[in-house]
Each structure stands twice: as structure tokens, then as C-alpha cells.
Amino acid sequence: MPVEIIEPNKRPMKRVDVDPITLDIIENALRNARTEMDVTLFRTAMSPGIREQHDAFPMIANLEGKMVVGQFGSFLHGFKAVYNGTLEEGDVIFTNDPYSCAGAVSHCNDWLVIKPIFKDGRMIAWGCHFGHMTDIGGKVPGSLPTDAKQIFEEGIALPPVKLYRKGVLQDEIMQILMNNCRMPDWNKSDLMGIVAACNVAERRVIELAERFGDDMFYSAMEDLLDRNKRAMAHLILTTIPEEKRYFEDYVCDDGMGMGPYKIACSLWREGEKVIFDFAGTDPQSIGSINFLLNAEMFKMFVGTFMIAVFDPQILFNDGFYDLMEVRMPEGTLLSPKRPAALSCRTHALGRVFDMISALLGQGAPDYMCAAGFSDSPHFMYSGYTKEGDWYQLYQISFGGVPGRPFGDGLDGHSMWPAFTNVPNEYLESYFPLRIESYKTLIDTGGAGLNRGGNGIRTGYRFLEPGEISIHDDRWLTHPWGVNGGHPGGRSTKILKRADGTEEILQSKCDRISVKEGDLLCFDTWGGGGWGDPFKRPPEKVALDVDRKLVSRESARDNYGVVLNDDLTVSEDETVALRDKLAKQRGDVKLFDFGGTVEELKARCKEETGLEPPKTPEFLNWFTKKGSTAEAAE
């Protein structure tokens, strides 16, 4: 049964002609409204994840539910596919259960608010927003347990419910939510900020409709979607071939000692439609690295990449979705069956971003980026202070941005377009820790004509006893280089105890006890390099060495650049060395993974200090069983 909209005014919207100037005014007004939604939330949220890092995504959609302005694609396709209730003016929908909205949000920490926007008794648009909550209950602080086998272990999960009914807050719903989290004050502030942001969208949409007329506003939104579709149709026809391309990459492990897990995808074009087929992807994990990838969200990922590469002036929206088809076999890592655990889906999410670049770039290598999104490293620290007060930190760290066709990757920077770091001064003010180092890691960016960005080291000195959790990847596999570029460095996590002992930690671990004086060295991966490193201007390499981004040894061995004591280039020796190294290397590789999976596992203990993950033997057996619940038993 489809969503039923209760409208006293049943007059349908009428499509009218919109002149270019009016269309431009409405477009920019909607862009500004989307920004105002963000500002409203960031100024009212309490958690550093939203307030400081901006882990939240707003959207304004047309009547059909297609995003006209936003960032993360429409959340409404999945919601409308499963919700069978009514919607009236003043209603506000809440959900955080991925399985109840077809993956519109992909793990339970993301709290989604949906508001139908009414004017004069009829619905004219949608305002939506979601943000990541620091805690929603579950078996570990932060609610992202690495060893969860079912979603029930990951915290509270509500299907779509009316948080507001005809404008009235449903206190019982709020009480249920707040009673199931460790940081209720933060959650309430963040959630009310999300609702306030949707109210901003409502006000701005109604103002636009009153200024230009309902039909003109409706038609302008349709025109913006149509314009995007025409532009994307041209890009697809001119950049996507009919012959099939294939790429695969891996999530290193599941936090339970098994891995790596393959994500495979084929790409081709049929007429004006592009097909993405994930056949060959490994079956879903018994752990929590599964990613319920909403097809519309994946289309958004692809569209963002294509627009950024080929025509950044295009307003990004959902208008082009009919031009893409996404096939994801059920029961796989990207289409798991309920009640598979989903809390640590970030690793697969990051890998999908890298794969999009590889798939779309194979036919046009000059436009292809190396790997570097790769993951979204999470760090959590919680416990009780000496005064008995509970503290809890959730933070996203950054790695190296990959080398790109038009320049070097950024060092220690987020690939999310609107994310920022949590200032160290904020961390030291609100949590019992001291940041003893915050620096780029030399030589972690892959060598190339355009160098991959270096990863970063954050040194956390703990001032109170507590527990930490770490969620990261790319500790076994490398962020790959392209067009002759070298792969980026891998991540490591080393805990230096106050008593002088050291321990190499797994990239995914929970409830690691720390004591006052312990130091965690949280090292992230670097971005892959782009292009032949022997073609990088030697003066640039010398500058990198001077800035301590590249070592003298790497300058010589990876770039073929010989430096004098004063860091000037020895030109004759550099020419000779580059000629020698180029002959030894042979032809440049389109992709450089740093070795096959088998080779990386064989070298794992020596290079990382950790045992290699075991092949997930349960996968074939699990596929026959057909459900996570049975596999978990």
C-alpha cells in the first residue's frame, strides 16, 4: 500500500513554463535553504560528530520524492517503498532502522527525519535531514560493535513512526529513544536540531511558493530535475562504453579474524542507460561490516563523481536516476538479509567510492583518481572520570586524499565534501585526553606524477582510565595507485602503555582498556599516487622532502631524484637514475595494488605485525543456510 497523503485541497499541481531568470532565482534560493538547514543543525547540536564534523545530510525534494538540493541523495525512495501509513500537515516521520526504509539510512546510528511540506491544504515538497548519533545503546559505547552478529546488538532501531502528529510531539516516542542511549542530552539536542532544520526547509519552500505561485515553484523543481537528467544523459552517452568493464576491491577483515571480503562490480551501457552489476560480491558477513546499499544512494555516488569530473557546474540532484540501473544480488555484503548486523558498514561504503573511480576511469584513465577514500576511521573513548561523571567521545579521523588528474592529493583530509575535523582544543577541553601529536605521516602518500596525500598520526594521551574502540580498514590492502602511480601506505594502530610496553591493535576492536598515561598512535592510510613518479618535476620532489612529506630515501627509490645535502637537485644523477629505474620497472601499470591479496596475506605478519585474516570458510555454508540468524547459531 503506498503512502497516503491527506490533503483537504486536492487540486493537482500544474506544469507551467518557467523563464530562465526565475529558474535561476529559485535554484539559488533552494541551495541557500539547504545551507541554512545545515547551519541550523550545527548551531544547536551538542555532539562533536555533528556540531564539529558535520556528519549530517539535509535534503529538499519534489512531490515525487526526488532530491532537488542536498548531498546524500534522496532518502524518500526507500521510505516510500515500505511505509504504508498516512501523512498529514504537521506530521514528522522518524526512523533509524535501515531494513524499514530499504537502506535510506544504512546503520542505526543515523537518525532520519522526514517532513512533508504543506501549503494551503496540499503537499508541495519534502524536507529531510539525518545525522549520526554518538550513541544509541547496544552492547558497546558508540553503538558500533565490531563483533555484532545481528542488528539487535547494535542499539535501538525504530521503523518509520510519527515523531510529531499534526504538529504535536509524541512524548512517548521521544522517551523511548532517550531511554535507550548513553548520551540522552546529546541525542535530544541533535534530534531537535534535525527537526528544526526541516522546519527551516518548510518555511523557505512556502516563502518561494508564495512569491512565485505554487505551480511556478512546482514547475521550477521539475525543470531543475529535467536539466540534470539531460546533462547526465549526455555524460553517459559520451563517457560510458557499451562493452563491459569490471573491477574488484576488498574490505580487509570483519573484526572477527576473517577476510578479506570481495566487492565486485561490472559496468556497461545499454542505449542511454548505464548498468552496474555487483554479481561476484562475497556473501554477507557474519559480522557487522555489511552495507545495506540503497540503489538510489549508489546512483547518487556515481552522479557526484561524474559531475565533479566532467561538469562541476551541473546542479547535483536526483533527476538522472532513471538513466541508471543497479543490480545487487540479495544476501551479499552490499544487500544483506535482515537481521544481519550493519553498524560497521563504513568500510564497505568507503571501498565503493574507490571502486566508482576505477570503473568509470578505465575508459578514460586521464580522468581517473587513485584510491584514497578507502574508509572513514572511527575512534571512540569512554568511561567515568574520577568525579564519577560519564564521558564519551565519537570522532571520525581522516586519511590521505588520492592523487588526481589535476594535482596532488591533500594530506590528512576528509574525502567527504563537507566534513571537518574536531579541533584538538575542543577534544582537550571536553574529554580527559591530551593530543600529543597531530601530523602528516611521511611517505604514506603513494608516489606519482601527482603524489597521493599522506595519512596522519593522532597521538591520544589518556588522562583517565576508560575503554576505546577503533574502526578502520586498509591495514592489509593498499589504497591503489593508477597510471603508474604507487599505492598509498596502510593504516596502523599502536597502543603505548605507561609501563613502557607496546601493543599493535587490530584495525577493528572494541572495549580495549586504557589507563591514565597510555598513548594511542592512531595512524591512517595514505592516498594512492597518480601517474608516473619519474615524470614528477624534481623540484617538486625536493620541496616535498623539505616539507617532510617525502623522505630522501623515497625521493631516490620511488621518484628517481638525487638530492644534494642542501636539498638542491643533482640533475645529471637524477636523469641517469630515472632512466635506470624506468628500464627496470618496464611499462607502467594502470592499477598498482601493491601485490595480490594472496601476496599481501603472505607478507602480512612481517609488514604489519598482525596475523593475516583467515578466509571466511563459512561463506559457502552460510549461503546455503540463507540467514544471518541461522549462521550465527
629 has pLDDT over 50: no
144 has pLDDT over 70: yes
pLDDT tens digits along 497-513: 999 999 999 999 999 99
Phi, psi of 27 (to 5 degrees): -60, -50
CA distance 526 to 105: 28
Measured CA distances, 277 to 246, 373, 488 (Å): 9, 21, 28
Phi-psi label, residue 557: left if phi above 0, alpha if psi -120 to 50, beta otherwise: alpha
CA distance 64 to 500: 61
625 has pLDDT over 50: no
Do 232 and 304 contact (CB within 8 A), yes or no?
Answer: no
- Residue 230: Cβ within 10 Å count: 12
Average pLDDT of the chain to the nearest whole number: 92
Phi-psi label, residue 531: left if phi above 0, alpha if psi -120 to 50, beta otherwise: left
Phi, psi of 510 (to 5 degrees): -130, 160
pLDDT for the residue numbered 413: 80
CA distance 445 to 448: 9
CA distance 155 to 579: 59
Q: Which three three-digit cell numbers place residue 305?
A: 563523481
DSSP H or E segment with residue 305? helix 295-310
Q: DSSP strand E in 299-420: where?
A: 324-327, 378-384, 390-396
pLDDT tens digits along 543-591: 999 999 999 999 999 999 999 999 999 999 999 999 999 999 999 999 9
Do 220 and 18 contact (CB within 8 A), yes or no?
Answer: yes
CA distance 605 to 612: 7
Do 214 and 14 contact (CB within 8 A), yes or no?
Answer: no
* pTM for the full predicted model: 0.92
Do 378 and 346 contact (CB within 8 A), yes or no?
Answer: yes
